[in-house]
Amino acid sequence: MALMSAMPQELSCILERLDAKPLQLGSRTYWQAQWMGQSVVAVLSRIGKVAAATTTASLIEHFGATQVVFSGVAGSLDQRVQVGDVVIATELLQHDMDASPLFPRYEIPLTNKSCFLTDQSLSLELKRAASQCLQEVRANMQLHGLWDQLGVQAKDICLHEGLILSGDQFISSAKISSELKLNQPSALAVEMECAAVAQVCDDFGVPFAAVRIISDNANDSAHMDFEKFIQTVAAPYGAHVIETFVKNRSIT
């Protein structure tokens, strides 16, 4: 099983939990370990679609990954999706793909597809792990303090499932995020990697699932310090979801 994140803070929280050996390939370091009885390879893809796509191809071709799971942060594109909430991707779309008029806008040329679906059973496992962690966060007062300090009401955090958009752009303007929402009304969140990972996994027939913790509202109003939120809340929380996901597998 392969575990991938785009930002160093996100991956280091996962690496802290396993005793992994590094293997350098190109400019990526792939961390191989036995984690609770499961063979895992964890890697930092770096930010953006190309970085994520090449890393995914290496995971599959070089490391023989038969499942890929991505964890990271994303901006919200829906009023119901708040900072601190968790989104499990059911489908992914590249919002910056536009080869019209040769192909319909958003369609990945020569695939007949705009959206790539995540694997249902892998996503269900990830959803179970995320929902277990959510209950723990709600119940744990110490964690509450941390979230509250950053302006997030831990008791209100929710789990969502749906469409996530990816593109090579950090969305930090209300104008752009409302355009994205207008064009893709069902979109819950926006980030910069997972639709590319999903496309590569689709090419190789490898199951893929993704979990994103909402770090911002993809608009001009900085809700809080993005870096601080990732460092102190989203990265440890995401790693906890992944650890729970792996732990659940080792039990069953």
User: Any idea which residues carry the catalytic annotation?
Assistant: 10, 216
8 A C-beta contact, residue 73 and residue 10 = yes
Q: Which of 4, 6, 59, 210 binds ligand SAH (CB under 6 A)?
A: 6
Closest CB to ligand SAH among 134 and 190?
Answer: 190
Q: How far is the CB of 225 from ligand SAH (least distance, A)?
A: 10
Closest CB to ligand SAH among 168 and 203?
Answer: 168
8 A C-beta contact, residue 92 and residue 198 = yes
| Helix and strand counts by DSSP (H, E) for the chain | 8, 10
DSSP class of 137 = H
Distance CA 185, CA 248 (A): 34
Residue 73 near ligand SAH by CB under 6 A: yes
Of 61-69, 85-93, 142-150, 185-193, the segment contacting ligand SAH by CB under 6 A is 185-193
Closest CB to ligand SAH among 35 and 184?
Answer: 184
**Residue whose pair of structure tokens reads 């008791």 in the numeric block:** 155
Q: How far is the CB of 19 from ligand SAH (least distance, A)?
A: 26
Residue 75 near ligand SAH by CB under 6 A: yes
Of 21-29, 36-44, 66-74, 112-120, the segment contacting ligand SAH by CB under 6 A is 66-74
Burial environment of residue 145 by CB neighbours within 10 A (0 to 12, 13 to 18, 19 or more): exposed
Distance CA 181, CA 179 (A): 5
Q: How far is the CB of 210 from ligand SAH (least distance, A)?
A: 10
Of 137-145, 153-161, 188-196, 197-205, the segment contacting ligand SAH by CB under 6 A is 188-196
Cα separation values, 188 from 82, 139, 146, 159, 247, Å = 10, 26, 25, 11, 28
What does the DSSP assignment read for 189-233? EEESSHHHHHHHHHHHT--EEEEEEEEE-SSSS--S-HHHHIIII
Residue 236 near ligand SAH by CB under 6 A: no
Residue 14 near ligand SAH by CB under 6 A: no
Peptide bond into 101 cis (omega under 30): yes
Residue 51 near ligand SAH by CB under 6 A: no
Residues in 130-169 at the binding interface with ligand SAH, rule: CB under 6 A: none
Residue facing ligand SAH at closest CB distance? 75
Give the residues lining the site for ligand SAH (CB under 6 A).
6-7, 47, 72-75, 170-172, 190-193, 215-216, 218, 226
